[in-house]
A and B are shown apart, each in its own frame.
Chain A
Amino acid sequence: MNTRNLFSRLFGEKALPAVPREVYVCTNRRDAAAGKPSCNANGTRELLAQLKGKVEAANLPMVKVKPSGCMDHCEHGQTIAVYPEDVWYGFVRVEDLDEIVDKHLRRGRPVERLVLAAECRNTESCPHRS
């Protein structure tokens, strides 16, 4: 059982507990000619920098934002993974970050509209894969 299932069984509709969290923002950049898209196509790592700034401004010392290499969700970029609860977000835009910080990282309620569907997570059947 992965942690996401464990957390949902333990907490159901309740808020997730305030535990030390690491939030990984994919900063992978490929060549323009690559066959796959990149989470950080223009190389500015803006999503990472913005999220770091917002977490700091929100005064959430238990939350650490980290840059990651390719997390193998290129079709769902920009991708963010939150551990230990194993919640994955896809197609994240800068304008989504306030909601992630306030709802999920502060109040323990993942932003469902951005959570990657189970059938998209590392499966061949993901409709976004070409």
Chain B
Amino acid sequence: MPEFDRHIFVCTNQREAGAARPSCSPDGKGKLHSLLKDKVKAAKLPGVLRVNKSGCLEQCEHGPTIVVYPEQVWYGFVQPEDLDEIVEEHLRHGRPVERLRLAPECVNTESCPHRPAEIPRVDPPPC
């Protein structure tokens, strides 16, 4: 199977200190991404998986954020200590980690209760 069996995006967006919305990777190091990448590699999971960096996934109030395709499962508030469970339960056994899932009304909606009322329209700087 040459195509990605699972494609995982880890938000590594960094905003300037004092920005209106929080950052998934405030120090800009993308540590969650590199940790997950290492853990997936070490787990020797079957199939082809890619752990991808992403820019802002627009889930800033839920960060750090991870999304897993093809099942389109969104995780929020992910900490390094949650990654083993995601790797074993979700990526190995196909059972999403329910306690970390974002509620459907929080994903890509204006009605998410975690969002500030006014979100300034400032695109991140070119990389």
Contact = CB atoms under 8 A, between A and B. Distances in A.
A67 interface: yes
A84 interface: yes
A72 B9 contact: no
Interface stretch (A92-100, A101-109, A117-125): A117-125
Nearest to A67: B55
Task: Point out which of B4, B67, B71 has the most chain A C-beta atoms below 10 A from its C-beta.
Answer: B4
Contact of A43 (B5, B7, B72, B126): B126
A66 B50 contact: no
B67 A2 contact: no
Q: Bin chain A's interface residue count.
A: 20 to 34
A123 B52 CA distance: 18
Nearest to A26: B52
Main secondary structure, interface of B, reads: loop
Interface of A: 2-4, 6, 20, 22, 24, 27, 29, 40, 43-45, 49, 64, 66-72, 81, 83-84, 86, 118-119, 121-123
When A and B form their complex, which 6 residue pairs have the shortest distance between CB atoms, in order from nearest?
Answer: A67-B55, A69-B53, A3-B70, A123-B2, A83-B69, A121-B3
22 contacts: A2-B70, A3-B69, A4-B3, A22-B72, A49-B123, A66-B54, A66-B57, A67-B54, A67-B55, A67-B124, A68-B54, A69-B53, A70-B53, A72-B50, A81-B7, A83-B69, A83-B70, A83-B72, A86-B69, A118-B2, A119-B2, A122-B4
